Amino acid sequence: MSERKVLNKYYPPDFDPSKIPKLKLPKDRQYVVRLMAPFNMRCKTCGEYIYKGKKFNARKETVQNETYMGLPIFRFYIKCTRCLAEITFKTDPENTDYAMEHGATRNFQAEKLLEEEEKRIQQEREEEELNNPMKVLENRTKDSKLEMEVLENLQELKELNQRQALVDFEGMIDQYREMEKREREREKEEDEREMKEMLERALVKRLRESDSDSETEEESSSKQSDKSSSDKPTDILTADKPTEAEGASAGGAKKAKVESWERSVGTLGGKGALGSLVVRKKPAVTVSKPSSVTETAAPISQTDSKPATTDSTDASKPVTTQNGSSSLSLLGAYSDSDSNDSE
């Protein structure tokens, strides 16, 4: 791949360029080149417009016996894009331009001719002033007089326009200030209306939120009242027990206030889950007391102790009063039952 980019070729030591045969080519031979139209033109045959920059495959040749300061002049042959008529133009190194020969006409040629004419007049004037100093003075006088006439005409036109155009600047300023004031008031009204709408939306939202909060408070208060009116879930343990336990105890045990742990767990002497954990002490041999009627004390069997246990359990059950408080007296129940048995 690197050999393709080599620009310098190898020449052997015995290379002699004079021995290379020269090709005998005609001086007016033509080459095919790719170029763009140098100016806008119109075909004389069909009237087709060819704009500047249109690309062509043109034939190029050197013009014979025509040079400009030793520079050769080239001629180009192109074909019309519509009728394929041949159009020719050549280079113009004197004016750094191209010159149309035949087959088409160059557009905007009048402007170019006018510029050339002005340039020619200016050149002739400079040549004349170079040889004649009096002519220079005359030309300067003419130029100054022409400039003064132009300034006077311009001043007259300005005065005429000022007389015809009656412009009230104060009125224009007042009108502009009034328009600004109306615009400012309109913007203020729009701001107030937007602020009012925003406040209304915020008020409606706040009312909705307060309504929803009041509803939720009412619901929560009703739920709390329902919950307070109903007993606690642990009241089930003592609800099925009889509330009247006065006849169970012989001596009438005192009613004690029910503690919170008794209310939730239950009494120790009840028939619930904790009733089986309470074991009554079995009394020893009873001692007879002197009385009018002597009774023989008999040992109390386990069968006889059962009704007493039931009595004690009945006495140990909580008693619910009118104000909702329950009483429990374990020690009193045991002491009463023992005294009864001893009697």
Whether the CB-CB separation of 81 and 48 falls below 8 Å is answered with yes
Q: What are phi and psi of 250, to 5 degrees?
A: -70, -45
CA angle 314, 316, 322 (to 5 degrees): 90
The DSSP output letter for 274 is T
Confirm whether residue 154 is marked as ligand binding. Answer: no
Confirm whether residue 97 is marked as ligand binding. Answer: no
Q: How many CB atoms lie within 10 A of CB 224?
A: 10
Find, among 115, 131, 326, the residue nearest to 241 by Cα.
326
Confirm whether residue 122 is marked as ligand binding. Answer: no
Confirm whether residue 195 is marked as ligand binding. Answer: no
Q: Which helix (DSSP H) or strand (DSSP E) does residue 335 occupy? A: helix 330-342
Find, among 78, 75, 121, the residue nearest to 98 by Cα.
75
Q: Which helix (DSSP H) or strand (DSSP E) does residue 210 occupy? A: helix 169-229
List, as residue ranges, the binding site: 43, 46, 80, 83
| Residues in the annotated binding site for Zn(2+) | 43, 46, 80, 83
